[in-house]
Amino acid sequence: MAKRDAYEVLEVGRDADEKEIKQSYYRLAKEYHPDKNPDNREEATEKFKEIQEAYEVLKDPQTRANYNRFGWEGLRDTGFSPGAGFGFGSFEDIVEEIFGGSIFDDFFGGSRTRRRSGRRQGNDLREDVEITLEDAVSGKEMIIEVPTLQMCPACQGSGAKAGSAPQTCPQCGGRGQVQQRTGFFITSRTCPMCRGEGTIISDPCSSCRGQGRVPHTSKVSITIPPGAGEGLVLRYTGAGEAGIKGGPPGDLHVVIHVEEHTVFQRRNDDLLCEVTIPFTQAILGAEIEVPIIGGKAKMKIPPGTQSGMVFSLKGKGIPHLRGRRGNGDELVRIIVEIPVELTTEEESLLRELAKIRGEEVAPPDKGFFDKVKEAFS
């Protein structure tokens, strides 16, 4: 069956730039990762491989140009041969584009120097975790599942079928670089056949298709400290992607997100909430119950409290995270409720109070019969 168009596979137009291609690939690779589709793993695996192959073609300007001119068949003359030697291209390169490279560096900063031969460290991974405000206050231990790559158990990471070994690349002679003369100048570039490795796998492992690593879901135990806030990054050394050719694993970066709360808002280590009280308590004072994280607490309302006044409950906020002891405060904003409807007795008492205080108030509304009586008097 003929291969699908690479642009169609990645769901981008033929004029898409490098950023658009990378973003679309990132989205699709995450969606069709085999470990994300346990009920349809076989179909997801084939789709995942198709996405990898299309990205291998379109991410490299020279390979993309050849593909645009000649299609899939034209790539074979350039040394790009899907399914042979290096399978669908270096899986390390592909997953770095998902979790490493510019996407990862944009978030965490910095960069990684990569070598093309020998042992190489696995890529760092990022996992986003959402917690409640209560979890942020008390802290939490949890186990998360992280889609990653582990060393292929069938070939022990070599990428070669049992009983075989990688062969010296015939195009670059094992150097990983090919030279091109242009006039008086000689330029070097990465060998397109071995992609800079210096070797090719002529008889790849059937389990990993020559990549040396296979998709895997890793269970990682994490500890969220009390006081964790939005955007906090927890780093777990060695919990990332398996290394290349026996190299060390990468790290896992867990990014914390805190859900919005129905009662509280957070400001640094302080909590803010609003509490409504009747006007009688505001006038005369009272002791009321106010919500706190995990329960309720008593708070005194002094006589004469005005609507909008803020009272502080010391130490009832968020624990300080950066080595400081204690907690922030809870700030309670008082809203004084004015009754909309009054009984006859309540209105009479308030009018009597206004009279004692010498305050002018609106006269009481006259009923229908009072108005009729006045009309005939």
Tens-binned pLDDT, residue by residue, of the chain (377 aa) = 567 899 999 999 988 998 889 888 888 888 888 777 877 878 888 888 888 888 888 888 878 887 887 787 666 655 454 443 333 333 444 444 444 443 344 334 333 333 344 578 888 999 999 999 999 999 999 999 999 989 888 888 888 888 788 888 888 888 888 887 766 667 778 888 887 778 888 888 888 888 888 899 999 999 999 999 999 999 999 999 998 877 889 999 999 999 999 999 999 999 999 999 999 999 999 999 999 998 999 999 999 999 999 999 999 999 998 767 889 999 999 999 999 888 999 989 999 999 999 988 888 876 555 555 555 55
For residue 31, give every residue at least 6 positions away whose Cβ sits within 8 Å of its Cβ, in sequence order, or none.
none
HSE-CB for 45 with a 13 A CA cutoff: 12
Q: What is the spatial distance between Cα 151 and Cα 241, in angstroms, rounded to a whole number?
A: 9
Interatomic CA distance for residues 11 and 28, integer angstroms: 9
DSSP letters for 346-361? HHHHHHHHHHHHT---
What secondary structure letter does DSSP report for 316? -
Any alpha helices (H) in the chain, and if so which ranges?
6-9, 18-31, 41-59, 61-75, 91-99, 101-108, 133-138, 279-284, 344-357, 368-376
Query: pTM for this one?
Result: 0.58
Structure confidence at residue 370 (pLDDT): 56
pLDDT value of residue 265: 95
**Please, what are the domains in the chain?**
1-82 (1.10.287.110), 265-338 (2.60.260.20)
- CA-based nearest residue to 325, from 234, 227, 228: 227
For the chain, what's the residue count? 377
Q: What span, in angstroms and rounded, lies between the C-alpha atoms of 86 and 81?
A: 8
> What's the Cα-to-Cα distance from 4 to each of 9, 50, 53, 55, 173, rounded to whole Å?
7, 9, 11, 13, 33
Return the ∠ at Cα 45 (arms to 42 and 48), rounded to 5°. Answer: 155
Q: Are 282 and 275 in contact (CB under 8 A)?
A: no
* pLDDT given for residue 374 in this prediction: 59
Confirm if 244 and 217 have CB atoms less than 8 A apart. no
Q: What is the pLDDT of residues 332-353, one digit of tens each?
A: 999 999 998 889 999 899 999 9
| In contact, 293 and 263? CB cutoff 8 Å | no
Count of CA atoms in the C-beta half-sphere (13 A) of 58: 28
